[in-house]
Structure 1
Amino acid sequence: MEELHGKVTFWLALSTIVISIGAGVPLGYNAGVMTVAAPVLFTDAVHLFDVPLVRHGISHGIRSVYLAEISPINLRGAIGVFGTLMHTCGLLLSHVVGFWGFYGQESWPILLSLVGCMGMVNIIVLPFCPESPRWLYIKQKRYRDAEKALQQLRGKTADISAEIEEMKIEALQDEDTGRGVGIIDIIRLKNPEWKTPLMLCVVITVGFYLSGFGALLFYTTEILKSAGLDQTEIALATVGYSFINVVSTFVGVLSVDRVGRRPLLICPFITGLVLLLGMTVSINTQEELGGYTFLVYFACLSMATIVVFRYLPETKNKTFGEISANFVKSPEQKMKQSEGVLETETYFNNGAVFEET
């Protein structure tokens, strides 16, 4: 597997930074702006409007896919989490600028419009960055363009033959299993092997967004007011919360490819359960948000923790094909997949896929 490892190059670093700043920072900034500006300008309805339409925009999903597809397997975790790090930096920036720069009804248009400057980074620089080699090779069948993009990302002297071979295998498997697959096929579980990975995607996402994080973020000001803090103390506490968020995410960037994905999901989930119980017994929180509100989040996070612990395989230093193989259940299916890989290697060794389309 060492042959699939790579190092940080100029184009890999530039592409990661640009897409993370252009897509990650604005998402965090928008969420933070709503926290700062809403008590002055809006109603709670704005919080609900912000969550699905701003924070979960198309750029969030595209960013994650692009970063995963341009990364070597030994850096995939760190590069992926780097996008989340920029998200938390955007949140911190919005709190600092919002509380001490543009807090008030007269200056809120400036506060909200600053996000456009971040998007300009993508518009100006991203067109010069390499396209995803996997998308070019597997989906577009533009083999030479994919090799050029991969060589640019890995460096002029890097040996990319192992990664090309891995994409060749996935391309043929994609032809056999992925042709004509749509969202309806996925919902209907056209392929039974999709059930477990689809369940994991849904449960992890639900566990994160119904962990109480959003409630704490959007009601931070109200919670701190109920604790008797003045405006200056609220600003300092909110910025401190955002700073801790940045630091913890930075630790994730450094450790995800060393420790693995499973521990870094399970341990924070368990920590979150403990903290939710603490929030539940907090008198100030109960008065502000009503009784045992956080027990709902506790139940959702408990479900996610159990499912992740039981079903989530470790994906550190594994190719996409190796990850998908974890969800092949029967010995017959595993044998078939193994034979398919051998047939694929033979097929590609015969040079069939090097025809440019």
Structure 2
Amino acid sequence: MFLPLFLFSQYIKAFYNQTMVARNGTGLDDKKLTLFYSLTVSVFAIGGMVGSLMVGILVTRFGRKGTLVRITCLVFIAGAFMGFSRTFGSPEMIIVGRFITGVHSGISLSVVPMYLGEIAPKNLRGFLGLVPSIFICLGVFIAQILGLHELLGKEEHWPLFLSLVVIPTMFQLMLLPWFPESPRYLLIEKRNVHATITALKWYRSKANIQAEIEEMQEEQRSMSSVQTVSVIGLLKDRSVRWQVITIVVVNIGMQLSGIDAIWFYTNAIFENAGIPVPQIQYTTVGTGAIEVIAGCVGCFIIERLGRRPLMIGGFTFMGICCAGITLSLMFQSHYISVACVVGIIAGFCIGPAGVPFLITAELFKQSHRPAAYTVAGCLNWLSNFTIGFVFPFLQMSAGAYCYLVFFGVCMAVAAYVFFIVPETKNKTFVEISQMFAARNGMLEEESSELGVANNLKLAKMNGYGAVDLEYGVIEKKK
């Protein structure tokens, strides 16, 4: 869904101008054309904010997997709008398609990490939590390759390129319905014991699922209610105050780190460094390859190092590189600026690109998780839109010093994680909540909530256990 639109910016602007000439007899001046194209770019983030606000309602009603299956229709609608926009001579179709694509992305970027975080065993939760960021980087890299002039990078191919979003979605629609729903959603929210055991057996075919069900039940006992908390309820709940502050800081910091500004101005920086214009497209593909490699490195070391080192190290390295860009622009050392651009992209992809979505799942229990993703997603997209709108004016007013703003943001987020956020590696959701309990001033209340009776009890009768319901016993044999 994250196709790099800038690869075809000149062709899309030419299409807009030609369409207006055909409609009105006169084309658009540079100011109006820039405004029209900026709307095309920014409407994606607006759609993302709208989608993120829908997450809580959708995952509560349809489940995690159910939501992902249902929203695939948005991709086909968006692909049709963008793919046939030139045929119908309608720039508005591109804008509508971009908005719908943004809505889908806003939902997916919250639901996918939530789903993976809930189906993963605790020792692999970090690995699976960063997998989406790898595939995002891989998708952008593939799009950069397809956007080369030798492939689809010609003017006549841009509608086809924009409609390519339907291809990975077709594979998802063919495969995802065969996967079980999140066991935590089935047990804690739906109280469907049989479906929970079936799903866990599917995901853990050779593992003893008894301990994992008991851990889910412990989480259920620790909650005063299994009802999903609203966003307002989340913000008012002082038992999760510091968890909420944490997701606010890391999600805003992820976008205000300057990564979007770097991606948007990469071609200009490469051109200023003396790279010939025809060769810039290949240099851009090289940065895409670095993104994929850095994402893979983060994915494979997160369970060894933990979440904190990747966040602290990633933001710190990005901050240093942002300061490096300022110095390189001041002293006209363009090759250093290229190295700093590559460093910012690598530092972002190795940790800050994926860990915020992962820890949003880890910091909250089942009842608070959908609302937490709604808040995190909305702030993420709002920050994305803000930086895209404000950065050109910031660059005009501050010049080379504008990157020092990103330096300050990166260092502030790294410091916050270092002093406030505990390590969540290999911890259960209940253990993570208890780690924040003292800081939230809720230690005694947390302990008392753990004693709340639960309607579901697991009798240790065999490898998979026997589920002892309040109104009877149902055995599940190996």
Per the normalisation by structure 2, the TM-score is 0.63
Per the TM alignment, residue 140 of structure 1 is displaced from its structure 2 partner at its CA by 1.1
Q: 1:68 to 1:119 in 2, by over 3 A?
A: same
Structure 1: how far apart are the matches of 2:228 and 2:126? 30
* 2:422 matched residue in structure 1: 313
* 2:218 matched residue in structure 1: 169
Deviations 1:38-93 (A, max 9, x none): 24424344332333435652011110000101100011111111111111101111
Structure 2: how far apart are the matches of 1:330 and 1:220? 42
Q: 1:198 to 1:329 in 2, by over 3 A?
A: same
Per the TM alignment, residue 330 of structure 1 is displaced from its structure 2 partner at its CA by 7.0
2:170 is the alignment partner of 1:61: no
DSSP-derived class of the 1:99 partner? coil
* 2:63 matched residue in structure 1: none
Residue in structure 2 matching 1:295, options 383, 401, 404 = 404
Mark the runs of 5 or more structure 2 residues left unpaired by the alignment.
Answer: 14-36, 48-100, 338-391, 460-467, 474-478
Residue in structure 1 matching 2:8, options 29, 37, 42 = 37
Structure 1: how far apart are the matches of 2:208 and 2:472? 21
Residue in structure 2 matching 1:109, options 132, 140, 159 = 159
Aligned positions, number:
322
2:231 is the alignment partner of 1:183: yes
* 2:373 matched residue in structure 1: none
Q: Does the 8 Å CA contact 2:221/2:454 hold for their aligned counterparts?
A: no
Deviations 1:236-286 (A, max 9, x none): 211111111110110111100111100011001110110000112232689
Structure 1: how far apart are the matches of 2:317 and 2:285? 22
Tell me which amino acid in the other structure corresponds to 2:278.
Answer: T
RMSD (Å), alpha carbons = 2.6
Q: Does the 8 Å CA contact 1:95/1:238 hold for their aligned counterparts?
A: yes
Tell me which amino acid in the other structure corresponds to 2:431.
Answer: E
Residue in structure 2 matching 1:329, options 438, 456, 468 = 438
* 1:159 matched residue in structure 2: 208
2:283 is the alignment partner of 1:237: yes
Structure 2: how far apart are the matches of 1:337 and 1:347? 20
What is the percent sequence identity of the aligned residues? 30
Q: 1:324 to 1:195 in 2, by over 3 A?
A: same
* 2:363 matched residue in structure 1: none
* 1:198 matched residue in structure 2: 244
Residue in structure 1 matching 2:327, options 281, 294, 302 = 281
2:143 is the alignment partner of 1:85: no
DSSP-derived class of the 1:326 partner? helix
Residue in structure 1 matching 2:413, options 297, 304, 311 = 304
Residue in structure 2 matching 1:227, options 262, 268, 273 = 273
Deviations 1:97-118 (A, max 9, x none): 1124211321101111111101
> Which has the higher Rg, Structure 1 or Structure 2?
2
Q: Does the 8 Å CA contact 1:260/1:315 hold for their aligned counterparts?
A: yes
Q: Does the 8 Å CA contact 1:68/1:79 hold for their aligned counterparts?
A: yes
Per the normalisation by structure 1, the TM-score is 0.83
Q: Does the 8 Å CA contact 2:238/2:440 hold for their aligned counterparts?
A: no
Q: Does the 8 Å CA contact 1:38/1:44 hold for their aligned counterparts?
A: no
Mark the runs of 5 or more structure 1 residues left unpaired by the alignment.
Answer: 1-25
Bigger CA drift: 256-265 or 333-342?
A: 333-342
Structure 1: how far apart are the matches of 2:440 and 2:12? 61
Q: Does the 8 Å CA contact 1:74/1:257 hold for their aligned counterparts?
A: yes
DSSP-derived class of the 1:329 partner? helix
Structure 2: how far apart are the matches of 1:168 and 1:353? 14
Per the TM alignment, residue 180 of structure 1 is displaced from its structure 2 partner at its CA by 6.0
Structure 1: how far apart are the matches of 2:200 and 2:178? 14
